[in-house]
Chain A
Amino acid sequence: MNYLNLLKVAVKAIASNKFRSFLSMLGIIIGVAAVIIMMAIGQGSKESVRQNISQMGTNLIMVRPGADMRGGVRQDPSAMQTLKQEDYESIVQNKKYVTYVSPEVSAGGQVIYGANNTTTTIYGESLEYFDIKQWSVEQGDSFSEEDIRKAAKVCVVGKTIIDELMPNVNEPIGKTIRFKSIPFRIVGVLKSKGYNSWGMDQDNVIIAPYTTVMKRILAQTFFSSINCSAITEELTDILRQTHKIKDGEEDDFTIRSQQEIMDTMSSTMDSITIILVVAAAFSLIVAGIGIMNIMLVSVTERTKEIGLRMSVGARGIDISAQFLIESIMISVTGGVLGIIVGWLGTVLCANFGLPVSIPMWSILLSFAVCTIIGILFGFFPAKKAATMDPIEAIRYE
């Protein structure tokens, strides 16, 4: 029998038992939909993490105190005091490839305006911070070099601070808020960045001159980190020189580039995705067994038909092809429906705010897997049909 006829026969067989065919497809539909959704979420999260990290700034490099020890005891980096004003200054002086540099100190606490208060983090930064983070001031202006030199009590605030503290105030610029009882005059409002993929409100920040935060809030002389947009090797050299670290001695700071952070995050996301997809793949195997079961029933049910076909000249291979095509058709139809359901599910997830993106290869993979399942689990029933004896089969009641 040629393929067209085989297809027709398979379609007819499936159509004459619509409900049963649908039930046997259901496993495949659910399995494929699950795989598609898992992959879409995995891929989507990965992309959104990448996006978030790149939102941190262009080619951001973070310098932190303490060696990046792998294994062994590691001191709490925030307790270490190796990053100082002269580090910052020497980076600024020696920089060739470094575009922007900003030291960073931060403190968490309550901020008060009138009767309202909210919990936030205050970051002490230099002016170049806004360039590193690609963050613009929407209303008013950022603080000035002058403010940094004088450790002036001025700040730029995120949208959330305004929403929480002064919901009814039209003009926040010039108003004074208090952080740990120290008054800060608002000079600018940051453009909203919204939530990042970890669910953090990026607008719940106060940014002030680093000098102000260090002297007036923390009373410390070291930085918690230095953020740059630059090239790693150069920074390492600059810092080693200022710290007078001899050759062969270990760095007393760690430089982590944005790329590294991204890679770590991606590989974490990848392994989560793999686990989810493997779980979904198991459900596909179970679905395949379901198809095999139905095909076996179908072969038994149609024993008489098989006998008849054989008696008019069908060879074993014609019969097995008929059942194999039927099982492939069930699983591939299930696969197509599964892709549609998966796509709808993905759209639904997107509506709930989950980052999703369906990779093309996951659709192709689903197709391939369904065909393989059809062949694999249709093989045994098809073989059973093909090896029947014509006269015994035709007498079967």
Chain B
Amino acid sequence: MLKDVKTGTDRKVVIRLDNVRRDFKVGEETVHALRGVSFEICEGEFVTIMGTSGSGKSTLLNQLGCLDTPTSGEYYLDGIPVKKMKKNERALLRNRKIGFVFQNYNLLPKTTAVENVELPLMYNSRYSARERKEAAIEALKAVGLGDRLYHKSNQMSGGQMQRVAIARALVNNPTIILADEATGNLDTRTSFEMLVLFQKLYNEGRTIIFVTHNPEIAQYSSRNITLRDGKIRQDIVNPNIQSAAEALAALPANQDD
């Protein structure tokens, strides 16, 4: 149990990695993408993960998102080893508990923004068609795409697609949000807008893990993990979290605004 930085109370560990390794066989060779990663993340942390290209960030995030299982080692989600779960149990976790923003968006082609965002709720029988649509529209408004609801994925810019992907990750009200380069394709202002959104979710008590190449973003998170060559090189808690909302207000106004 870690002491909460904000309140000083004990917090629950949601994610615990125990010497996780992930190897990929490429022809004759074996690529070691993760070489024994161990850490704990508590409920309500905002963790940024940094590291050079190919250092294993996406591989790590896939593990955390229950999309992939370790070659060796163990990943405990809420104390339960993910490797031992059945496929359907993992699917259920992905559907209800986890929101995942892919590095390359992965939107359904030729499909509107709303339909893309609705997708996770399609596999949740608790939502009616109307509730599904309302939730999708709300999520799209939150990422500033209220005016692009019925644009198809192939009619949108890279940044817009990225925001649709964020909206899709948020639509199921996940307690854990995993974002892989979620602001990589956005201009400074829109990136800050997204950061404001993530900080709002953080303040709501959700656990956020945010992969980024931008060292600046680390200031807005509660903790920063740096990977190198599939191993943790640095893991520091940020005692002085900057407010993204203030930074956004301080930005010079857009010329065409």
Contacts and interface: CB of A to CB of B under 8 A. Distances in A.
A309 B124 CA distance: 12
A164 interface: no
Contact of B106 (A16, A315, A316, A394): A394
Given A390-B67, A391-B62, A394-B102, A312 B110 contact: no
Nearest to B100: A311
Given A316-B87, A316-B88, A394-B106, A311 B123 contact: no
Contacts of B120: 312-313
Contacts of A312: 94-95, 100, 119-120, 123, 168
Contacts of A316: 87-88, 91
B68 interface: yes
Contact of B91 (A1, A310, A391): A310
Interface in B170-194: 172
A309 B119 contact: yes
Contacts of A2: 125
Contact of B87 (A4, A304, A315): A315
Given A2-B125, A314-B123, A391-B68, A304 B106 contact: yes
Contacts of A315: 87-88, 91-92, 123
Contacts of A313: 91-92, 94-96, 120, 123-124, 172
A181 interface: no
Interface in B109-131: 109-110, 119-120, 122-125, 129
Contacts, number: 61
A349 interface: no
A4 B132 CA distance: 14
Contacts of A304: 106
A5 B92 CA distance: 18
A318 B65 contact: no
Interface in A288-310: 304-305, 307-310
B2 interface: no
B110 to A, nearest CB: 7
B124 A311 contact: no
Contacts of B106: 304, 307-308, 311, 394
Interface string A3-19: 01100000000001000
Contacts of B168: 312
A287 B72 CA distance: 47
A346 to B, nearest CB: 40
A1 B68 contact: no
B108 interface: yes
The number of chain B residues touching the other chain, given as a range, is 20 to 34
A377 B109 CA distance: 27
The number of chain A residues touching the other chain, given as a range, is 20 to 34
B102 A1 contact: no
A320 to B, nearest CB: 12
Nearest to B93: A313
Contacts of B65: 311
Contacts of B95: 312-314
A311 B108 contact: no
Nearest to A387: B87
Contacts of B123: 1, 309, 312-315, 318
Nearest to B67: A391
Interface in B154-173: 168, 172
Interface in B71-111: 87-88, 91-92, 94-96, 100, 102, 106, 108-110
Q: Which of A311, A312, A315 has the most CB of B within 10 A?
A: A312
A316 B90 CA distance: 11
Q: Which of A308, A313, A314, A390 has the most CB of B within 10 A?
A: A313
Nearest to B106: A308
A2 to B, nearest CB: 7
A304 B104 CA distance: 12
Interface string A88-111: 000000000000000000000000
Interface in A345-396: 390-391, 394
A308 B120 CA distance: 10
Nearest to B59: A391
Contacts of B87: 315-316
Q: Which of B91, B92, B102, B125 has the most CB of A within 10 A?
A: B91
Q: Which of B65, B87, B172 has the most CB of A within 10 A?
A: B87
Contacts of B67: 311, 390-391, 394
Nearest to B171: A312
Contact of A314 (B68, B91, B172): B91
B108 A1 contact: no
A392 B205 CA distance: 32
Contacts of B96: 313
A5 B102 contact: no
A109 to B, nearest CB: 79
Interface in A153-167: none
A191 to B, nearest CB: 68
Interface in A2-43: 2, 4-5, 16
15 contacts: A5-B122, A16-B110, A304-B106, A305-B109, A309-B123, A311-B102, A312-B100, A313-B92, A313-B95, A313-B124, A315-B91, A315-B92, A315-B123, A390-B67, A394-B67
Given A311-B94, A313-B92, A316-B87, 19 more contacts: A1-B122, A4-B129, A305-B108, A308-B119, A311-B67, A311-B100, A312-B95, A312-B123, A312-B168, A313-B120, A313-B172, A314-B91, A314-B122, A315-B92, A315-B123, A318-B123, A390-B68, A391-B67, A391-B68
Q: Lowest 8 CB-CB distances: which A-B pairs, in order?
A: A313-B95, A312-B120, A313-B123, A315-B91, A391-B67, A391-B68, A313-B94, A315-B88
Interface of B: 62, 65, 67-68, 87-88, 91-92, 94-96, 100, 102, 106, 108-110, 119-120, 122-125, 129, 168, 172
